[in-house]
Amino acid sequence: MSAIEQCRTAALGGHVEACEDCGEWRIAYNSCRNRHCPRCQGAAARTWLAEREADLLPVGYFHVVFTLPAEVADIAFHNKAQVYDLLFKAASETMLTIAADPKHLGARIGITAVLHTWGSAMTQHPHVHMIVPGGGIAPDGSRWIS
């Protein structure tokens, strides 16, 4: 954190930027080059975000979270691979089944899922975050259904 706090300050040194035409000059302080620093990586983060936005389908998206009950979370602590695998399978099967039902959407959806094993209080809290598009491919593959 200290490198980020000192980014572009005299603490990290600097250099002089000078214009050969008009003689103007200024001191430019060195950056920390830390990959977590918003000053150093701001432009790269904006570029990455624009590239990811270009990958998105032109539909709304939904954020869905599947959480294990506390009793199962305790079991998961000692059987991580098995329980996390079951959590992913149950969560994805649930979303795919509901979306395929003509009463709901009647389409084959895509899912991006990420496992989080800790909660905001830094306690064990296994859960899966899913980003799901607001539509999908018709069962026969012929069209998009919103």
Helix axes 80-100, 70-78, angle to 10 degrees: 130
pTM of the model: 0.68
Statement to judge: residues 44 and 112 lie in one domain? no
Helices (DSSP H) in 56-113: which residue ranges? 70-78, 80-100
- One pLDDT digit (tens) per residue for the chain, 146 residues: 888 899 999 999 999 999 999 999 999 999 998 888 888 888 888 999 999 999 998 999 999 999 988 888 788 888 888 999 999 999 999 999 999 999 999 999 999 999 998 877 777 788 999 999 999 999 999 999 99
Statement to judge: residues 90 and 139 lie in one domain? yes
Q: Name the residue range of residue 15's domain.
A: 2-52
Statement to judge: residues 66 and 124 lie in one domain? yes
DSSP 35: T
Host H or E run for residue 29: strand 25-29
Residues 78 and 106 sit within 8 Å (Cβ to Cβ): no
Residue with tokens 């079951």, as numbered in its chain: 86
Residue with tokens 């969560």, as numbered in its chain: 91
